[in-house]
Structure formats: C-alpha cells, structure tokens
Structure 1
Amino acid sequence: MRRREFLAACFACTTWPPLSGNAQQREKATIGFLGFGALGDVRDGNNADAVRRGLAEIGYVEGRDYNVQYRAAEYQADALPGLAADLVNRKVDLIVTLASPALRAAHGATKAINIVFLTGFDPVANGFVESLNHPGANLTGVFILTGPLGPKRLELAREVTLTRSIGVLLSSTSFGFANVRDEFLTAGKSLGVDVVMQQADVPTEFEAAVDAVRRAGCGALVVGGDAVFTNNRNAIVELVTRYKIPAVYAEREYVKVGGLANYGPNFSEVYRLLGTYAGRVLKGEKPADLPIQQVSRVELLLNARTARDLNMSLPLPLLARADEVVE
C-alpha cells in the first residue's frame, strides 16, 4: 500500500462518526432577564437562581447552553420600557420577566420575541393573554393571584396580636397598586381594625415608613409582596425587629431570617417553575399553546423564637395550622 493510501485508511479508522439527533451540539441561546429591582438581585438573587434550576431541569445550563443579558430597573418603573426595548434590539431568543411591572414593559416592546413571565395579577383580565389554557400570543408563564392574599395576611396579623390597628407597607410601583390598597382597606373594615397605610418605593424610604407605623400605635404590620421588599427582606426584618413590631410577610424567607410569620406561596418553587417553562420554550414549544400555570398553594410559617422575643404567645389553633414552625 502506498503511503498516501495508508494514511487515508488510518484517518478513516480514527475519525468519530457524525453526531445525530439530539446529540448534535445546539446553538447557544441568549435569554434576557428583565427585573424591577437592583442588578445584583436580577443577576444573583434567590429568584434568579431558582429560574436557573428550572432551566437546568429541562437541560439548559447557563454558560453551556445559553447566555443571559441582565436588565434591572433599580425600582424605577419608567426605566422598564427602555430596558425591554434594548433586549429586543439585541435580538435575544427569549425574555424572562421576573416581576409584574417587567411583564407590562416586555409585552409592549415585542410581539415577536417569546416571553415567559411571572405575575401576581390576572394576565387575562389585564389583557396580556386570551385565556389561561390557550394564551394565544408570544407569552406564557406563571400566575399567582396575590390580591386575596393581602387581606388574608391582615386577618392573620389580627389573629396573632388581637390588635385593632394594623400598619400596611406597600409600594406604589406595584402593578395594580390602587386595587391592592383598596382591598386592604375593605378587609380592615370587615375585620373591625384600623388600617394605617404606609408607602415605600425604594429601600431608603423603609425606615421612615416603619417608624410611622410605630408612631401611629399600630400593634402589627403587614408587609406587601412587592419586589422592593422581598429583594431587601433582611433590611425590612432588621427594622421591624428594632421597632419590636409583630409583622406578617409574603414569603417564607422572611421567617427564616427572623420574621414572625408569613402567608403566601413558596416563591423558590414558583420561580423554578418559571425556569422550566423558559426551558420548554427554548426547546421549541410555542407559548401560545403552553397553558399558564396558576399557583394556588400557600404556606403558613411561624417563628416561635421571634414570638418569644416579642413576649407573645402564638395561639394554639394557629400553631396547629402552620406548615412549619421555626424555633
């Protein structure tokens, strides 16, 4: 055999066969994460980590299968449309909105790029999709009906403290702020308690708002589920602890870091579910055909140590209903 023929035969024996089907290396996607809070939270916060876990369950690992363009409004709602438009101009493959205000901005920015969202407000009633079962558009996602949960937290605060004056901390940047505020006021009348509304739109306004609740003589505080609070939960709990106000929160993580009680969904699982939907869309499923997932399960967590620090006794029926009691 001549030398050229010999080398060709050796190459044929050592060359790997071509990859086929799903084994072929897919092109790396680009996802836009659009959030309302600070850049650090949008990029490195617990919610973003949960989205990544969901994506990984579907086979998408950041850096290997996709890259992310992070956009954060720093709690400035007016900045969201421009940030959404920037992601569209960069031709990302998918936009994941991490809060309700971001959904509105992304929806207004594109009808072509797919959007996977998390919202606490009815996406049908607010005109984003045709129906929960058949969104019929370029977007789908996860829906938590947060409106009824606020009054339930007010009721919980009343049960825990027996007070007749309760402070409520909300952000006016919240999607549907006026409706949420009115629901709290209506619930207060039904429960026979005075509701003292306080507003904080950025972290620098927290202390004045909590101090106003204390000066008003409120026996308890309900903290809204707005991103500005959940992204800065440690600061909120520290303030409330300093002022010795029993407080009810929207997420379990507050209780884990010293908050008294929470009533709401497990947001870590909710954002993980959001990530699985993002992965399914990247795999080729159409948002128009993916039913919106409605999360209805809520948890009640209590912190017994915090109750003792406040010289409180948690009612036995409440302890019996709790999903978890932190000692």
Structure 2
Amino acid sequence: MGAKLARRPVFVSCREQRLFHGLPPQVALDSAEFRQPPLFSDWAARRRRAATTPSRLSLDRYTTAIRSSGAGMRRREFITVAGGFAAALPFAARAQRDIPVIGFLNTASPEPYARLVQAFRDGLGETGYAEGKNVAIEYRWARGEQDRMRQMAVELASRRVKLIAATGGSTAALAAKAATSTIPIVFQIGVDPVEVGLVASLSKPGGNITGTTIIAVQLGAKRLGVRLQIVKASSEPDIGPAFSELQRLQAGALWIGADPLFNGLSEQLATLSVTHKIPAIYQFREFAAAGGLASYGGSITDAYRQAGVYSGRILKGDKPADLPVQQSTKVELILNLKTAKLLGLALPPALLARADEVIE
C-alpha cells in the first residue's frame, strides 16, 4: 500500500479533510487511500481488501460515532482510533524511545575531542552498547567557558538521563556531583579524586559516582636544575600569543601542563612548537604522535575508553559505589625522532633506549 501511495496523489474531499483533522498522518493516509481514483487492474483487489483493512474499519467506527453520538463522543472515539494505530506502530520505532540516554558533559569543544569521544564509544561497545542503536548520548560542551558547567549539569539531570559522563577535568565532575545525588556519574579527570572531594576513597568511592583518573606527572624546576617561566593560556585563542611570548623570552624548552584545554589541541600545540623551534613535552602520547618532541605520562585515550566501559556496566546494573576508581599507573615516554631532527636536536642513545616508543 505504501508504494502505491508514494506514486499516486491522494484526493480528499472537504468533508473528509475535516474528518481527518487531528488524526495521525498514517491513519489519514490509510483512510484516504480509498478515495484514490482506482486503476482498473487492481480495482477488484482493492474492493476485497477494503473489507478487512484495519484503517477502513477504524474510520467507519469513527464516522459512525460522529453521526450518532455528537461532539461529546468524538474525542473519546478519536483517542480509541489513535491509540489503536499507536499500538500498531513498528516495534523498532517504539523501542527507539525507550533506549537509555547518557549525558556527556565536557569542559572543552567537540572538534578536538572527536577521537576521545570515539574512545568512550569504544568502551561502551565492549559492554554491548552502540550509540544510535541501543543507547543515546546527549552532548553538552562548555567550549572552555567553565562557568557554564553547573548550568549544563543541572540541565542534564533535569532530563533524567540514565547516567552522566563528566569528562574533561574536575570542573565537569564537580558540577555533575552538585547537580544530582541519584543519577550515576562516571568521571574522567587528571587529578586525585579524593583530594578534590569527588569520592571517599579510590577503592570504595561510595555514593553515585566513580570513574577514571590520570595523575599528572610533575617535574619540579629545582629538580631539573632550570629557571622556570610561566606563560598562561586560558582559551584556544590564547595559545598563539603564548608561543610568541615564549619566543620573546627565548625559552629553551617547553613543558605543557596537563589541562583539559590542551588535551584536544595536540596537533596545534605540536605544530606551533616546531614552527617556533621550541622543544616541547606534554603528558599524553597524542602530542608526540601529532609532531611534538616528546610525551611523558599515561594514556588519556585509554582513560576515556575505560570511562565508556564503566558507563556500560552501570547501565547493565552495576552500582557506581561498587566500582573502584580506575587509576593510570603506567607512565610512558614517547619520543618523536623526526621532530628532533627538525629542531636540530641529537637525542642521547641512553634516552632513546629508555623510551617506550620512538616515532620515526
């Protein structure tokens, strides 16, 4: 029937237009099908089919109620007709409305975080969930505006999502915790969650919250025997001028402090460091892989994947209080030999031997 409707116009009288007003589109189309000018080849088949077509029977009951019971019966009969057709909707369409929804909260912008979001989806996939099939994700990106986090967390909580994935730093996690004490929260941060007040302990987080953490590697200036100059960048537009300031200071090297703002900008940071001839090191492998000189720290990609795994487990019934906080314990040294040559640096053989990976 659907194919015929797509090829032939539907003719509806003025009286029928009033009758169909307010009906679901499929009800109106199924009923109006009997007003189409029949082709002689299928006229007899249509007449036989009309006697048992649900839409025609429903329409007959509806028009009978209008004629015999007046306006008082119209609304009740309409609800019956509409309800009958709603029950006949394909199961997949109704099931789509019932799938769990995850609220994804992040302090940064979506574009640089695409690979990390994919890592989160990969973790969900390990527990049997696929976005758009049996789970939906509502994304909220603060785009570096930290003061928006609380409002967005409250908004997600008011939508009664099944879980909030608070990623991109402690600001998102604390905002989610303040917004709800009942909706499960899975965080991904780079600081000690006990120290900032997110959980009671790593092994027994308690409450409605758990997650993954990467403790940032700290290199003290005194330990390194160098003089430290701090150059700040609080937003993406600040990064270019910050490198110009580094060049003015004649900086001999750059240690990029771990921050959600920088996590998704590895390629930009790596390019600027090479352009300004400044050897630079960051915590995550993605920086070295994008062309930075070196990285030293844990894997943020794996942390997002593990956050996805925890999210899937919680959707399946696990309690956040029973899931210990996953902490990155392995520290990796990644060196980019190609970048070292561009910067005119000869990396010592002993350092190359200690590296977990050398990118050539």
Aligned 8 A contact 2:101 2:137 in 1: yes
1:36 aligns with 2:104: no
How many residues of Structure 1 are paired with residues of Structure 2 in the alignment?
265
**For residues 154-165 of structure 1, what are the structure 2 equivalents within 5 Å?**
none
Aligned 8 A contact 1:301 1:324 in 2: yes
Q: Which letter does structure 2 place at the counterpart of 1:244?
A: K
Q: Distance in 1 between matches of 2:160 and 2:297?
A: 36
| 1:318 matched residue in structure 2 | 351
Deviates more, 1:79-88 or 1:223-232: 223-232
| 2:66 matched residue in structure 1 | none
Q: Distance in 1 between matches of 2:286 and 2:326?
A: 23
Deviations 1:45-101 (A, max 9, x none): 111100100000000111111111100101011010001011011111100011222
| 2:264 matched residue in structure 1 | 231
1:105 aligns with 2:138: no
Q: Distance in 2 between matches of 1:89 and 1:307?
A: 51
Q: Which letter does structure 2 place at the counterpart of 1:283?
A: K
Deviations 1:27-57 (A, max 9, x none): 4100000001113345xx1111001000000
For structure 2, list consecutive stretches of 5 or more residues without a partner in the other structure: 1-94
Q: Which letter does structure 2 place at the counterpart of 1:76?
A: E
Aligned 8 A contact 1:138 1:288 in 2: yes
Q: Which letter does structure 2 place at the counterpart of 1:297?
A: K
- Structure number having the greater helix percentage: 2
Q: Distance in 2 between matches of 1:306 and 1:107?
A: 42
Aligned 8 A contact 1:54 1:275 in 2: yes
Q: Distance in 1 between matches of 2:98 and 2:212?
A: 27
Deviation of residue 127 (structure 1)?
1.6
Deviation of residue 190 (structure 1)?
3.1
1:65 aligns with 2:134: yes
Q: 1:206 aligns with which of 215, 239, 244?
A: 239
Deviation of residue 257 (structure 1)?
1.7
Aligned 8 A contact 2:283 2:297 in 1: yes
| 2:218 matched residue in structure 1 | 150
Deviation of residue 191 (structure 1)?
2.6
Q: 1:302 aligns with which of 307, 331, 335?
A: 335
Q: Which letter does structure 2 place at the counterpart of 1:40?
A: E
1:92 aligns with 2:125: no
Runs in 1 of length 4+ with deviation above 3 angstroms?
A: 24-27, 39-42
Q: SS of the counterpart of 1:39? A: coil
Deviations 1:99-148 (A, max 9, x none): 222101101111011000111111112221111111111001112211xx
Q: Distance in 1 between matches of 2:205 and 2:284?
A: 28
Deviation of residue 298 (structure 1)?
1.5
Q: Distance in 2 between matches of 1:290 and 1:196?
A: 41
Aligned 8 A contact 1:200 1:209 in 2: yes
Q: Distance in 2 between matches of 1:315 and 1:212?
A: 29
- Structure number having the greater strand percentage: 1
Aligned 8 A contact 1:41 1:48 in 2: no
Q: Distance in 2 between matches of 1:126 and 1:236?
A: 28
Question: TM-score, normalised to structure 1's length?
Answer: 0.78
Q: Which letter does structure 2 place at the counterpart of 1:108?
A: A
Which structure's CA Rg is the greater one?
2
| 2:203 matched residue in structure 1 | 133
Q: SS of the counterpart of 2:111? A: helix
Q: SS of the counterpart of 1:194? A: coil
Distance 1:229 1:318, change over 3 A: same
Q: Distance in 2 between matches of 1:251 and 1:132?
A: 23
Q: Pairwise CA RMSD of aligned residues? A: 1.6
Deviates more, 1:104-113 or 1:26-35: 26-35
Question: TM-score, normalised to structure 2's length?
Answer: 0.71
Higher relative contact order (CA 8 A, sep 6+): 1
Q: SS of the counterpart of 2:277? A: coil
